[in-house]
Amino acid sequence: AETVPFAHALPLPKTLTPLTRGATTDVYEMRMREADVEIVKGLTSRVRTFDGTFPGPTIKACQGRAVEVRQYNDLTVNAAVHLHGGEVHSEHDGLPMDVIAPGGNRTYHYPNKQRAASLWYHDHAHHLEAENVYKGLHGLYLISDAEEKKLPLPRGAYDVPLVIRDARVETDGTLRYTRPSDCPHMLVNGKERPYFKVAARKYRLRLYNACANRYIRLRLADGTPFTQIASDGGLLERPVQRDELLMLGGERVEVVVDFSRYSVGQSVVLENTGALPTERPEVLRFDIDRRSTDNSEVPARLSTLPPVPRGTVERDFELRTFPAMTINGVSYDPDRVDVATTVGSSEIWTIRNVEAPLPAPPDFHLYHSFHTHLTYFRVLERNGQPAGVRDSGLKDTVCLGPGETVKIAMTWGPYTGQYLYHCHQLGHSSGGQMGRIDVNPA
Ligand code: C2O
């Protein structure tokens, strides 16, 4: 459907209220079900949701307090709920074969022993995750901690998640799952190219690339830089200035933007310079509509990261899309252990994207987004050079352009059992670009 940009106000996903708050655990319940929503102005789209909203409701957790979520599957397809970025026991990880059948339910337990970070939960049912996530099965899960709460960063109404994803909405409203070069609609928090009325002050923006199959490259149209404060695994040690943010599916980048540099009545557009020439680059328009006091600050020192793991075990991985979706020549087989390791093992993984660059876009399917469950990693090198700012901090998903190689370091743990690593271009993981890692007791 042809659309006019900036027809919707930016919605904010609602925060889910716990059913009960116990001494140690907050208990939630959600129903996965179909719902009719307005994505493109004037059209009704049938989507798959967590609890009726698109995207699903946000869970706010804090370090040291566990969360339990009972998920009812009222859909007509299997679903498995994975907490992306969550350090959770294997049986609560939402593994591809560990599904909730239609009509069933299951309770997932999340310990939340980890540091503050912007996580998300989404479907992971084997072969179905790309379409399920695309059709709406994803929501946010934000963990806070005492260290982060002490910082004078923008908070409350000035701490805003922006879940960005593409879509194809037909003229009858159908949300159709198809290749990214046929997905011209860019959505933020479930609405096509919205506007957001902001005060002339600092905002913390939690950016998510929730696209099933494409990268986005974000910049502010007037060139105003972003101050990046966090990545997948939470706060960086120090803020860094970024002009442009290349994000693959699954990646999170948190930035602070100071709108006090604009006067009331001005606007600035967040655009995707990774859009195809046939697509509109606009993603979201910020309309500066009021003055405001602002006591927030971005401190020069944000956090202390755990030391970079000193890997003793080295492993190599090669990702290919042609002739089949493989890692090291094989597609996912839930009964085959691709990597056996022990809890506490510090490792260096070299990951290669062996696709050759194309002379022109659309090249989305030649990118890979390498993701590990259970543990965060540090990026050591990209193409033989020390990792730069775009790879800083604790990561769980790393971008690999055609022909690129990255070296990452991680320590496996804190739990044992069966986990996964895979490409987070979900068409690739659905097609089998995924491996099984068993973390065995020491
Ligand atoms: Cu966000 Cu295994 O995925």
Q: Is 124 in the pocket of ligand 1 (CB under 6 A)?
A: yes
Q: How high is the pLDDT of residue 6?
A: 97
For residue 320, is pLDDT > 90? yes
Compute the distance between CA of residue 395 and CA of residue 393 in angstroms, rounded to an integer.
6
Distance 154 CA to ligand 1 centre (A): 29
User: Tens digits of per-residue pLDDT, 76-94?
Assistant: 999 999 999 999 999 999 9
Assess whether 260 and 339 both reside in one domain: no
- Read off the pLDDT of residues 223-236 as tens digits, 9 standing for 90 and up: 999 999 999 999 99
Q: Is the ipTM of this complex over 0.90?
A: yes
Q: Are 220 and 326 in the same domain?
A: no
Q: What are the structure tokens assigned to 364, written together?
A: 């989305």
Are residues 241 and 128 part of one domain?
no
In a domain, 4, yes or no: no
Write out the residue range of the structural domain in which residue 36 sits.
Answer: 20-145
**Per the structure, how many domains does the chain have?**
3
CA of 306 to the centre of ligand 1 (A): 23
**Helix, strand and coil in the chain, % to nearest 5:** 10, 45, 45
281 and 212 in a common domain: yes
Whether residues 137 and 184 fall in one domain? no
Q: CATH number of the domain that 285 lies in? A: 2.60.40.420
Determine whether the shortest distance from the Cβ of 436 to ligand 1 is under 6 A.
no
Q: Do 231 and 318 fall into the same domain?
A: no
- In the listed set 115, 145, 175, which residue is the last one of a domain according to the structure? 145
- Contact predicate 211/165, CB 8 Å: yes
Ligand 1 contact via 373 beta carbon (within 6 Å): yes
Question: What pLDDT does residue 1 have?
Answer: 76
Residues 342 and 425 in one domain: yes
371 Cβ below 6 A of ligand 1: yes
> 84 alpha carbon to ligand 1 midpoint, in Å?
5
pLDDT at position 338: 98
Instruction: Say whether both 189 and 69 belong to one domain.
Output: no
Quick one: pLDDT at residue 399?
97
- What pLDDT, on a 0 to 100 scale, did the predictor assign at position 358? 87
Nearest atom of ligand 1 to the alpha carbon of 420 = 2
- Ligand 1 centroid to residue 292 C-alpha, Å: 39
What confidence score (pLDDT) does residue 360 get? 84
HSE, CB side, 13 Å, CA atoms: give it for residue 86.
29
Listed residue (371, 370, 332, 321) closest to 127, CA to CA: 332
Q: Which ligand 1 atom lies nearest to the CA of residue 373?
A: 2
pLDDT band at residue 288 using 50, 70 and 90 as cut-offs:
very high
420 lines ligand 1 (CB under 6 A): yes
The finding on whether 119 has its CB within 6 A of some atom of ligand 1 is no
Q: Which of 391, 288, 405 is nearest to 350 (CA)?
A: 405
